Amino acid sequence: MKKITALSLSAAVLFFGCWGGKKEEGKRTEKKTVINGAGATFPYPVYANWAKEYEKATGVKVNYQAIGSGGGIRQVTERTVDFGGSDEMLPPKELDKRKLYQFPAIVGSIVVVYNLPGVGDTELKLSNKEVCDIFMGRVKYWDDPEIRKNNPNVKLTHQRITVVHRAEGSGTTWNFTYWLSNVCPEWKNKIGYGKVVNWPAGIGAKGNAGVTNYVKQTPGAIGYVEYAYKLQNNLKAAQLQTREGNFVKPNEKTFKAAASHANWNLKDHFYLLGNLLLQPGKESWPLTATSVILLPREKKEKNKLVVDFFDWSFKNGDKIAVKLGYVPLPKSTKEMIRKYWKEVVLK
């Protein structure tokens, strides 16, 4: 499998596959089937790899523009793409307004990454208050007493902190700021949550790839990215606190622990208030999130092609997902989604 790097993902618009052309077979002309999607950068690595294998298996091309959840919601609402990808789950009323269907495709996790020479991966512990104060711009240096308190044996120098956040409408930002709003009253009162917020400190970068690239190149930097980007680019991630307050490391075990608490509801188009963030359990990663697919309600023929792609991916793509740092949906959830496709989307 080709390794995904921050540089290869840092373009403003990313495509996988190519536009279908016409193939000459004597006098006969054949047009290749193409599916077009756009949206969240969070699931891009797994969608890209699924699409590559799907084309090999079926000959169908799947193009996906990794432009952020905000762009994906907008483009599928405008019907300029066949499906949208979003890390912000839309409530039923919003889906009705935009005339969209919604189902989960993959579970991933957001991690707080840092560039601190001499400090190893997951060696750093950051409490809820510390993350809040850093992104508020209140804590400006890595050797601040507040950070040292939970890291007495970590080599922290007087290095200035550079906060890196998303520059565009982002579902990753929605999830990260929703989490901050729930663990930090001051953040909730002054900043709030959303795909775009008025950041009190730091610099903006485009996409998970842009944040990854900036943190990787900047000593003293801190940012938030989807775990696959951390994994593929050898970034270092901090331990964070669970809902119960104990520190946990980001890994497959803690992601699965959080995902196991998902309470999906077919009638609500799988909507969960707060996504999978802050699930109970001493081993549950607090920033676990689901990335969803949005489909236009009136385009049944094209929706069947999109459904076929994700159905194939659910059957054949779990190993790819795990290798990239994602958590495949449980078998029971996949069956629920298939029921949703049959009884709602393709009815």
Strands 28-31 and 61-66: unpaired
Cα 345 to chain centroid, rounded: 24
Range 183-188 contact pairs with CB under 8 angstroms and sequence separation of 24 or more: 183/128, 183/131, 183/132, 183/241, 183/278, 183/286, 184/128, 184/129, 184/131, 184/132, 186/132, 186/136, 187/132, 187/135, 187/136
Whether the CB-CB separation of 182 and 119 falls below 8 Å is answered with no
Residue 8 has pLDDT above 90, yes or no: no
pLDDT digits (tens, 9 = 90+) for 135-177: 999 999 999 999 999 999 999 999 999 999 999 999 999 999 9
What does the alpha-carbon distance between residue 23 and residue 61 come to, in Å, rounded to a whole number? Answer: 14
Instruction: Please report where in the chains the tokens 């804590």 appear, as a residue.
Output: 139
Residue 4 has pLDDT above 70, yes or no: no
Q: Give, for 64, the enclosing helix (H) or strand (E).
A: strand 61-66
All domains of the chain, ordered by start, with CATH?
6-107+265-272+291-345 (3.40.190.10), 110-257 (3.40.190.10)
What does the alpha-carbon distance between residue 217 and residue 100 come to, in Å, rounded to a whole number? Answer: 40
* DSSP-H helix ranges across 27-144: 44-58, 69-77, 92-98, 128-136
pLDDT digits (tens, 9 = 90+) for 325-341: 999 999 999 999 999 99
Residue 11 has pLDDT above 60, yes or no: no
Per the prediction, the chain carries an average pLDDT of: 92
Judged by DSSP in three states, 153 sits in coil
Residue 113, Cβ density class (10 Å: 0-12 exposed, 13-18 middle, ≥19 buried):
buried
Q: What are the structure tokens assigned to 74, written together?
A: 């907008």
pTM summary value:
0.87
Judged by DSSP in three states, 163 sits in strand
pLDDT of residue 294: 98
What does the alpha-carbon distance between residue 235 and residue 114 come to, in Å, rounded to a whole number? Answer: 7
pLDDT digits (tens, 9 = 90+) for 262-287: 999 999 999 999 999 999 999 999 99
What does the alpha-carbon distance between residue 101 and residue 183 come to, in Å, rounded to a whole number? Answer: 31
Cβ neighbours around 316 below 10 Å, total: 13
What does the alpha-carbon distance between residue 70 and residue 73 come to, in Å, rounded to a whole number? Answer: 5
Listed in sequence order, the residues at least 6 apart from 331 whose beta carbon sits closer than 8 Å to its beta carbon are none
Residue 7 has pLDDT above 70, yes or no: no
Whether the CB-CB separation of 43 and 65 falls below 8 Å is answered with no
